[in-house]
Amino acid sequence: MTTFEFSGEIQLGNHAQPFDREIEAESEKHAKDKLYSELGSEHSKPRSSITIEESQEA
């Protein structure tokens, strides 16, 4: 498993909340899917409300 670091914003009402997250996954695609799933679940928001600005392998 590889660790990927993501940063971006999630739209919450009238403002955007920045986030930084580390996700362990087998590939960057799986890590992105997991990130969307976790953030969307935590904030009850769809993927379209989440903007990933940067991603890199840690």
The domain that holds 53 is classified in CATH as 3.10.20.10
pLDDT at 19: 97
pTM score, whole prediction: 0.90
pLDDT at 26: 96
Coil, strand, or helix at residue 30?
helix
- Structural domain boundaries, residue 43: 2-57
Residue pLDDT, tens place only, 1-58: 999 999 999 999 999 999 999 999 999 999 999 999 999 999 999 999 999 999 999 8
Query: Tokens 């799933």 — which residue?
Result: 37
Helical segments of the chain, H only = 28-43
Candidates 4, 2, 3, 6; CA nearest to 54 is 6
Q: What's the number of domains the chain is made of?
A: 1
pLDDT at 29: 96
pLDDT at 44: 95
